[in-house]
């Protein structure tokens, strides 16, 4: 009789433990948020691929390397759409970062960047406008990587 009572009590303890584990799992989503991916789709004008590639490999790369050095982004890449349809980008420019910056942090970054680049806002706007002659920004997405919960 005591043996059956002991087994019954043990069964109740293990049942309560298993209910708590199931309950905890029910309250946790299967994913946790990871890095943010900013993806910009670029359409390049016919015959301008080399010109834009040279700009990406020089000015854009230097700026992106600076952002990595500062810890503002963790990585960057350029992905080519090998067989783009007429309404699709030719290139995707990808910048990966861990957290969104606050307004105050963005102001600090802007100041640090302008000090580093040594160009005025007007000059940079003019240069961006000049690139519009041979490339069009089709879209920009802000995506967040979803990681499986362990």
Q: Let me know: does 67 contact 93? Beta carbons within 8 Å.
A: no
Q: Let me know: does 149 contact 27? Beta carbons within 8 Å.
A: no
The per-residue pLDDT for 14 is: 52
The per-residue pLDDT for 130 is: 85
pLDDT digits (tens, 9 = 90+) for 56-91: 999 999 999 999 999 999 999 999 999 999 999 999
What are the strands, taking DSSP E only, across the chain?
31-44, 75-80, 91-97, 135-148
Mark the ranges of the chain whose per-residue pLDDT is less than 70: 1-25
């Amino acid at each position: 009789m005591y043996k059956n009572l002991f087994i019954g009590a043990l069964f109740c303890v293990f049942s309560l433990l298993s209910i708590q584990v199931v309950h905890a799992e029910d309250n946790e989503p299967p994913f946790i948020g990871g890095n943010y991916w900013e993806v910009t789709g670029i359409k390049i004008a016919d015959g301008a691929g080399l010109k834009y590639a040279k700009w990406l490999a020089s000015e854009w790369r230097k700026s992106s390397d600076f952002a990595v050095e500062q810890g503002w982004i963790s990585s960057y890449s350029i992905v080519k759409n090998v067989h783009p349809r007429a309404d699709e980008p030719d290139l995707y420019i990808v910048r990966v970062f861990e957290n969104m910056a606050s307004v105050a942090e963005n102001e600090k970054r802007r100041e640090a960047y302008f000090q580093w680049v040594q160009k005025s806002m007007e000059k940079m706007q003019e240069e961006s406008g000049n690139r519009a002659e041979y490339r069009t920004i089709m879209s920009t997405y802000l995506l967040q990587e979803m990681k499986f919960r362990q």
